[in-house]
Amino acid sequence: MTTAGDTQPLQPSATQKTFNGGPEGTLQQHLRMQTKVRAATWTEPKIYIFDAGHERRRKEQLERPFNRTPDQVEEEEYLMQELRKIESRKKEREKKKVQDLQKLITATDTNTEMTRVECKATKKKLPLKRETVCVLVISSCS
């Protein structure tokens, strides 16, 4: 006989474990009981949502890497190596593009400066003769 002050641990029996869907069912039952206990002790109950189907899929996904054949492992390693090669080629192409753009910018800057120098160099005075007037030759430079 139990009194109001006695508490007994809430543990599912062996028959409940087998008939309630194994570990997922036991966990779901535990969360329901925990919610009831918290409600009885006047604490704010947290609502736990347990999705047994999601839990089964998660466990299957965790087990898949361990159930692979040696051929599948070898194929995955080969594909990872190919992926690394592709990524390195992509980085090299990006570097080459950047270098080409820098060369183009440098060449453009150099050509602009050369044009300015040429413009300054083409301004020259012709030698004065007694009969001729001084002529200034200016080429059109932009």
The CA distance from 31 to 53, in Å, is 16
pLDDT of residue 137: 52
Are the CB atoms for 35 and 48 separated by under 8 Å? yes
- Token duo for residue 18: 């087998």
The CA distance from 62 to 49, in Å, is 21
Unique residue bearing structure tokens 């047994």 = 52
- Token duo for residue 127: 């030698």
pLDDT digits (tens, 9 = 90+) for 9-66: 555 555 444 445 566 678 888 888 887 777 666 666 678 888 899 999 999 999 999 9
Are the CB atoms for 123 and 137 separated by under 8 Å? yes
Residue 121's pLDDT band (boundaries 50, 70, 90)?
low
